[in-house]
A = this chain, B = another copy of it.
């Protein structure tokens, strides 16, 4: 059996929040808290829960009182993930538009890596009991994550799905710490490239200003008709969602959008001197 330090596990998993959207049954919230606490997670965010508070939550989360007190209630999914860098949306079925999709195990490893190597805040989003997340909600995620179950039978309920993801997050954390212990051997972590950023990554909140700016610019050059956008906005979210922009890249791209807008509006014209090149 592995020996491990529960405090160390929690210090990592405190940066991974579980987000439940429009949950109907209080029992599922209670079960989620219990699963989280058992595996060492602590932060639950509820987006517009149907019933809250409710005695079933306390009953099923018996012994997880500290987690109940830390629950955050928000009105929109955007608020729930505003300060997050990396967002996973859970999805049982294939959707109309494809998205980077990870099984729960590699997704958990990726989440843990983001926390320990880059101090990122991570969110895992779970949808309604009856119909999961909408396509619009799923488009807010960098990655979609799925649990490979027997598709002929059906899907896990939300509490079961949370339990398995929390379990995999714990396993990824334990594996990371074991690897850390074996540092002398300098083993590669999951064969993934360790990216060292010179700039901090932007948050989801900043990205929610990025997309409207990009769309406005594209509308001005008539590349996008906001009254009939087709799949273009979704494609752009998928594209930039999987990059995780850093601050300098973000400023660079928004600078380009602004320049194109000025050009389109006739407010900016080519100069002969190049004094105004931005310093990047």
Contact = CB atoms under 8 A, between A and B. Distances in A.
Interface in A206-263: 218, 220-225, 228, 230-232, 235, 239, 242-243, 245, 248-249, 252, 255-256, 259-260, 263
Interface residues of A, number: 84
Contact of A150 (B6, B101, B103, B279): B6
Contacts of A222: 259, 270-271, 274, 276-277
Interface stretch (A78-86, A121-129, A162-170): A162-170
A174 interface: yes
Contacts of A196: 94, 98-99, 101
A211 to B, nearest CB: 15
Interface of A: 1-2, 4, 6, 9-10, 35, 37-40, 63-64, 94, 97-103, 105-106, 109, 146-156, 160, 163-164, 167, 170-171, 174, 190-198, 218, 220-225, 228, 230-232, 235, 239, 242-243, 245, 248-249, 252, 255-256, 259-260, 263-264, 270-271, 274, 276-280
